[in-house]
Structure formats: structure tokens, C-alpha cells
Amino acid sequence: MLISLSRLTYICIIKVRTETSPEDVGGMHAAVGILTARGGMTSHAAVVARGWGKCCISGCSEIQVNDTNKVLVVGNKAISEGEWLSLNGSTGEVILGKEPLSPPALSGDLEIFMSWADNIRRLKVMANADTPEDALAARNNGAEGIGLCRTEHMVVYTFSLRLPVTIRLLDPPLHEFLPEGDLEQIVNELASETGMAEDEVFSRIEKLSEVNPMLGFRGCRLGISYPELTEMQARAIFQAAVSMSNQGIAVLPEIMELGHQVSLIREVATKVFSEMGSSLKYKVGTMIEIPRAALIADEIAKEAEFFSFGTNDLTQMTFGYSRDDVGKFLPVYLSKGILQTDPFVVLDQKGVGQLIKLATEKGRAARPSLKVGICGEHGGEPSSVAYFAEAGLDYVSCSPFRVPIARLAAAQVAV
């Protein structure tokens, strides 16, 4: 697909950043294409764009982005905001100027063919979705529920009619939620609004900075350190679920959190159900994203009612590769035959795959009814889907626009 940037319209814009964070989601949603200097297949920009069906090129290391002057520099060429730029998401080309667009087209016979595939497959296919638009696209593409909804983006319930919605509580490092811009001006505004001294605000910002944030203060560590974060999110989820249920839209919320937080979540559920005079069924489970969690899956399963393997981070942690920097050396590994495929695209069955199998076996030994699935981008890659089906997983969850691929791959392995 080719996307262009025009000074004449706000409809066709490309968001260009060094790298994206949750703060950029609004702008990313408004854009028709996304270009970043850092990142890769499973970076924030790539994952979010793929979920929305947007053209995205991430990890274009040849570009330099000057946010202050709103200029993109490539070699000795400077491209200012408003100039035409085109992206070819299939080839990864960034093209200067306006190119003709090639919108995707589907055959009218596709749904008939896909219904045959659905009658054969055992593996369920769900979708990663954060907005009503994502959920609608997922449902139209045949998704059987939401396998990953991130609270830092948006909770979706309008999608569900007796279908599960699996919600991951706040995951990104807190510093990603800090506003960007002139630090002194930001501190001055925060101090004025909160009544705190500027030195205290500076101190708090400094404490949030991390050398390696992806391995730092994020995920369940936030909830353990600040239980009120978990309580606030859980309360919002249960209130929304009950409200939808009262409107005739039945939902089955599944909250992903570590065992330390389970009792708190259940306490919040009890309070909300009592306050609203209604209750509903729900599950509390956990993501398995680090090797140690896979190795002690039997202990985790004593509390968790389901496992969701976050294969993007599990791959990163198993290989010790930064998924945002892997583009600097992975092409060399592939060209020299050290790796046969990009492990962030195709599941590493010898390493990461074995961890998934082991964790599934140990988890179900401790809790036979354990529901197991994956919510990484491998859920839309055919050979990976086949592996998950053969490993006995219950479902895969992928970006809405990759759901048909996963449905077909799940059927192929069942034949």
C-alpha cells in the first residue's frame, strides 16, 4: 500500500517520529501512515499500526527526525512538514513525492471459503483490539473475541456478545506517560496545577527515568508497588461490564494480572457487584512473558485461570534481543545463516516454542481446566499458528487484519 502526505488535506497525513509511545496513539489513529527511525516488527508503532490496518515502516535508521523544526532529514535532503511523501509498507520503501495508491481488494467468495475453514479448525482465533473500530474490524474478519485489550489505550466491551474480552492492565513504564516538550515549561505547569514545588516535580521525573525501561518498572510491578492503580483499573472494568450487561450486551471479562494481585481484583469485583446490584462471570489470569514464568507455570496456575503468552516479549527475553534495536544486527544473522528466520516474525520453535509447551503442560497439570492462548504477533503467522495448534493451545490472538490468515492456518493444521 502506498500512502501520501499532502499539505492540502488533513485526511492523508503520515506521522513521522523517532519512535512512538502510548502518548502518540491519538496522532497515530488520525494518520494514514506511520514512519519511525527506530523499531522493528514488534515495536510499539508496528504493533499498533498493524492492529489498525495502517501502513507502517518502523526502524528506518537512515532518517533523522527534528520534532522542533518539523523536518525529516535523509542524508543531505530535508523534507519539511506538508511535503509529499509516500510509503510502501510491503517493501519498506520510503519514497519522496506523491505516488498512486493501491487499495487492497478482497474477493466476494472469500467468506464462503473461510466458513469451510472454520468448520475444520479446532483452534479459536481472537483479536488484539483497543478501540470500537478495532473490535468491529476484528469481528468482521471473523474473530471470536478479544484476546488482548490494553487499558492504556481503551477498554472495549461493545464488541462482545457472549464473547470473551481479555484485558491487560497497565503495562508500559510510567515515564512513557510523561508529556514531551520543554522540560522546564512542563515542570512549571505541573507545579502550578498541583501546588507542588518545582524541585519536587523535577525529583519525581528523575525517579521515573530508567536505563533499561523494558526490563524496569512496568507491568505487574506497577500494581504491586501502587495497588491503587490495579484497584482503579479493575473497578472501571467491572463497572463497564455490569453496565453493558444491564443494557443486554453480555460480556465475559478476563483480566490479566499476576497472582499477587488476584485477591485485590476479586475484592474489587465483589464491591462493584454489591454497589451495582448485579454480577457476572469473569476470570483472572496472567500473561507469560518471561522465561522464569514459563518454568514455574505450575505454581502460577494455582491462582491463574488462564495463561496468555505474550510472544513478542517472551521472544525478546529468551533471546536477550531488544526488539526495538534488533534491526541493527538481525539482517547479518540471517545473511550468515545464524538464524533462519526473524524470531519476532516466525516463532522460534526450538527455544520460545519449547517454553510455551512446557508452561502449558505444567500449568494444566496444576489446573486441568486452564485456558491457554497467545496474544503476540506470532498469532497471525501461519507456521507459528500451526505450532500453537499442535501444542494444544486453545486460541491465538492477533491483529484484526491478520485474523483471516490465522483462521486459514488453523484449518490447514487440522486437515
Catalytic residue numbers, as ranges: 44, 375
What residue type is 16 in one-letter code?
V
Residue 73 corresponds to which cell in the numbers above?
532529514
Say if residues 362 and 301 touch (Cβ distance below 8 Å).
yes
Q: How far apart are CA 398 and CA 311, in angstroms?
A: 11
- Chain centroid to CA 3: how far? 23
- Torsional class of 202: left (φ above 0), alpha (ψ -120 to 50), beta (otherwise): alpha
Q: How far apart are CA 415 and CA 412, in angstroms?
A: 5
Under DSSP, is residue 68 helix (H, G, I), strand (E, B) or coil? Answer: coil
Say if residues 364 and 370 touch (Cβ distance below 8 Å).
yes
Strand partners, 310: none
Residue 397 corresponds to which cell in the numbers above?
490472538
What residue type is 292 in one-letter code?
R
Strands 395-398 and 371-374: parallel
Helices then strands, counting H and E runs in the chain, come out as 16, 17
